[in-house]
Structure 1
């Protein structure tokens, strides 16, 4: 929190000064009121009443203005702290690998960036509203009450420790409840997210009743937790009011006797009661902070756990290395790539590469060695679970190798800054994901400066221009989150167009043609050939027909390369490849 407030030192200082002014004015009013009663009303001095009344009105006005300005500045600082926290959380999540994200869970990360930050903001607002005012009024009220009458002050001195103990006991019980509650919010968010995303699966297996019961269970657990914490919070106020009211009764009782005996003036008793009420107000202000602080503390721990996570995949140390090349990949559109000049050699080489997930009994990949040359297509094929997508994800370092080395243009990928490395790659992921916005917005993720003509050229190559032109708004047609308003084949073609706009020296296609019919698949691959003439292309494929023209085909089995060569060579020499081809009924159809 201190680090986040460093940019607001002047504002925080202004808040402190304003609250000191507010507290001083608040404490001065009962003394002036006592003087009006004793010197004005009892002494029948009208001029004194008017004079002190004007002072009281002026002080009250100053108090109101100071409170308003301090409250506004406090809200500004609190909102900015929340903004900075959300930005840091978002940046940190962007730097985490998929494995690290899975440790927290997507639903939990969303809760931490929204609900948890909001709880800290709420505490910050209260703190900046009562940062100085509450303790100043509390301590000043006690001091001035003692000044008014030392004998009656024994009641205050007895009451304050009792109130402190009450609040301490309740707050101590609230902390674990609030911490448990934030975990239960994560749980209910996770269940709700699963049920929304998997709605069709739930309906298809007629499991609505089971899922409703599962959600109700999570909901009831959260409700019970909230009720227990609410009961403690609700019980705090009556207990404090009971103690304070009993002390007020005692003050009036003993104070009346002291006035009757002439040991105390009427104005002093009035001021004493006012200071008792001010002490109560200060305690109530502190109570609100103490009620909010445990929940905010639990939220801060959860946020800090994310911020303290050291990404397993970090920038390489070397500032030098290849850059995305200007005209490395021939394009039908003039212009430069998005990341500046780059290498002439974009050869990709795997040298005895292995990968294993943490805690796994066996590696997913082992002994992977091959070289993918510029101007050629290297295809990877194999059974489900053989490690094809994992192999492809090692190149942009979505995963880190556990052994071996991968190079681009002779530079080890681990030595390159991530921005540079990933700037060399045009990626079409296995799951075709589009972002909410427009078609143009999604395509320009590949090249932010691309013109509409360049977008249409990429769409034409990706065989997507036809259906985009049929949309009422063309490139400005809306895209829902995930691209769910498009079919699987349309999403794949839009993702391919997005990658082609990158004009990168290396392209990765992770099973990117599976939703296309054979005719569209063939036309798309033919259209891409001149565009990718100088690029190094790696394709993960399920269909043999997609990769018959590849310069090198790798056959994966159990995480190892069991055969490699051209289509014809593998059809003659690789039983594994022959089995895959036969299963797709293409033995007679392929050349």
Structure 2
């Protein structure tokens, strides 16, 4: 199969012809109806995103263990540093008193002088009168702290390495799942989704998820573990001060939750607006020639400006509201710091705590509020990532096409391309029947031409043969095998299709021809090129068959692109050939030559030819005239002209000379 045929969405009664694809409304119109949809809740989407890391659970456990080790070692640092402060402070006081006195005598002397507060402080200290600072002991403490911090850094580095592997692997799997899902979606899904919107989900949203996980997972995990470890150290030093510090937690959580509730809807709107603007840009760039031909630049710029402004507004509101979290958290943390400093100073004064313990506790206070502030500051990024995840999950949750059949097609030696429609009924919309109880037989070697006005259902017939859509009633057989019981890939391997719109990918001419059959030999490719007259113009190109075609095929003419797509169908050597206005882009002389070449190709094969120019199907073995999804006439060219019916009216409308008044 060389190309996929476009389809028609359900719920669009007026669009009966499947060649009229629902896109974004033509140049100058964006994707509609996407912004303002109700978003899924933050919690379930975040949990679903985390569950996607299950294949990497062993590495995730390793990340958790390393994070715990790193956080515990880091948390021990201030407590040990507090002991160094006590050693220095005790040495300074000990050096102020004579060595002839004992500690108890010094305290009694101070208390006798009326300074009870200083006496209480000295009581809590472990100083020796006449002995100064023990720098050897201080150095030992500092070396221990240095070792702890160095070990914590190594563990943190290894943790970051493993976490990066987990995150990137998860995103890679998500991209793979999206690619698989796209291949499993029915054609009607793409008919109802603006292309730019779909591309935004597959590219922008997944990239945003990757960035979010990369920037938040490590910091979020470390922050939460730090809060637990630091809280334990705080209770170890002073339960009273720890309870004071805990007062800020519910206040912070309540404030953060209130802000998040308001900002989450704005992030959903931001990414939906991004998809809508993407759709407008994509269709405008694709149709930039038409935009210029019809002078619609001003309208395109106006729509772009409107959508850009709406995206700006949504992004500004989302970032501004979520940006309030961090300054509010810092304000609450600073208030908590002041209260702890005051209460801690009073505890040192009455001898309940040492100066080193209070110093360590104040450090822990900063370490306690810092991760809370960091988590709060990550909320805007986290909300943005979850909003993107919701959009990707919507794609992954879309209904897939009907389950594949398992019946094998006819053996190769028995394939002739006989197609039989048996009482087939089909409609895009249940309330608007299109094809009802249609029966026909296309025998091997026959060329079956399908003609009729736009919207009659011509392309619908071949779409049903290709199983782009499933029939509502009856059945279609290919060489005696029901196509609904066959795997789609096996069915489409027997069909070659050429559309009116030539689709080529960025690559060489040789690669584009071989796309119809990747295992084709060089001689088979050249034979197909000569048969379809591609060889005639290829030699005028600088690199011949190695000429690289642009993404949109802009470096060759429309007729040449069409010839390459026909050569692609030739090289696939199909049992059934479908031509949907395949020669509409070539000149008259080339069309005549192609008719001769296709006559040879159609030998012992069934060919469906959809045509508006009746001159191209005069020699067809069977001509089907369709109106409103029904075959109103059938026969060869001569028979239908004699019948003087619908076909004759179409023929005269194209070839009869105008009547002069």
Q: TM-score, normalised by structure 1?
A: 0.91
What does residue range 308-387 of structure 1 map to in structure 2 within 5 Å? 308-316=397-405, 318-322=406-410, 325=412, 343-358=414-429, 361-387=431-457
Kept after mapping to 2: 8 A contact 1:179/1:295: yes
Deviation at 1:322, TM superposition (A): 2.6
Q: Deviations over 1:384-419 (max 9, x none)?
A: 222111111110111222222111011111111111
SS of corresponding position for 1:10: helix
Instruction: Name which of 10, 22, 26 aligns with 2:74.
Output: 26
Kept after mapping to 2: 8 A contact 1:545/1:586: no
Instruction: Name which of 260, 266, 280 aligns with 1:191.
Output: 280
Deviation at 1:188, TM superposition (A): 1.1
2:177 is aligned with 1:88: yes
What does residue range 16-415 of structure 1 map to in structure 2 within 5 Å? 16-40=64-88, 42-43=90-91, 44-130=133-219, 132-316=221-405, 318-322=406-410, 325=412, 343-358=414-429, 361-415=431-485
Kept after mapping to 2: 8 A contact 1:123/1:289: no
Deviation at 1:421, TM superposition (A): 0.9
| 2: CA distance, partners of 1:403 / 1:455 | 40
Q: TM-score, normalised by structure 2?
A: 0.82
List structure 1 segments (4+ residues) > 6 angstroms apart after TM superposition.
Answer: none
Instruction: Name which of 576, 580, 590 aligns with 2:650.
Output: 580
Kept after mapping to 2: 8 A contact 1:41/1:49: no
| 1: CA distance, partners of 2:656 / 2:167 | 65
| 1: CA distance, partners of 2:278 / 2:394 | 19
| 1: CA distance, partners of 2:485 / 2:467 | 11
Q: Deviations over 1:164-195 (max 9, x none)?
A: 11111111112111112221112211222232
| 2: CA distance, partners of 1:93 / 1:53 | 59
Q: Deviations over 1:188-228 (max 9, x none)?
A: 11222232223233333333222222211111111111111
Deviation at 1:3, TM superposition (A): 5.2
SS of corresponding position for 1:483: coil
Tell me whether 222-231 or 200-209 shows the greater mean CA deviation: 200-209
* CA 1:572–1:465: 2 relative to 1, 3 Å: same
Q: Deviations over 1:44-74 (max 9, x none)?
A: 2222112222211111111111112211221
| 1: CA distance, partners of 2:50 / 2:313 | 35
Instruction: Name which of 514, 518, 526 aligns with 1:444.
Output: 514
Deviation at 1:346, TM superposition (A): 2.8
Q: Which has the higher contact order (CA 8 A, sep 6+)?
A: 2
Aligned residues: CA RMSD: 2.0
Structure 2 portions without partners, runs of 5+:
1-48, 92-132
| 2: CA distance, partners of 1:400 / 1:484 | 36
| 2: CA distance, partners of 1:75 / 1:123 | 12
Equivalent residue number for residue 118 of structure 2? none
Q: Deviations over 1:454-497 (max 9, x none)?
A: 21111111111111121111122111223233222111111110
| 2: CA distance, partners of 1:103 / 1:274 | 58
Deviation at 1:132, TM superposition (A): 3.7
Kept after mapping to 2: 8 A contact 1:75/1:128: no
Instruction: Name which of 575, 587, 593 aligns with 1:517.
Output: 587
Deviation at 1:131, TM superposition (A): 5.2
Q: Deviations over 1:70-127 (max 9, x none)?
A: 1122122111211211221122122223321233322221111122212322332245
Kept after mapping to 1: 8 A contact 2:216/2:382: no
What does residue range 489-568 of structure 1 map to in structure 2 within 5 Å? 489-568=559-638
SS of corresponding position for 1:457: helix
2:56 is aligned with 1:8: yes
| 2: CA distance, partners of 1:544 / 1:586 | 13
| 2: CA distance, partners of 1:74 / 1:229 | 28
| 2: CA distance, partners of 1:319 / 1:42 | 89
Tell me whether 30-39 or 540-549 shows the greater mean CA deviation: 540-549
Equivalent residue number for residue 639 of structure 2? 569
Tell me whether 50-59 or 565-574 shows the greater mean CA deviation: 565-574
Deviation at 1:424, TM superposition (A): 1.2
Equivalent residue number for residue 46 of structure 2? none
Tell me whether 192-201 or 243-252 shows the greater mean CA deviation: 192-201
2:567 is aligned with 1:478: no
2:557 is aligned with 1:487: yes
Q: Give the aligned length.
A: 568
Kept after mapping to 1: 8 A contact 2:184/2:401: no
Q: Deviations over 1:492-544 (max 9, x none)?
A: 11111011111111111111011222321121121233333222111111222
Structure 1 portions without partners, runs of 5+:
326-341
Kept after mapping to 2: 8 A contact 1:555/1:577: yes
SS of corresponding position for 2:240: coil
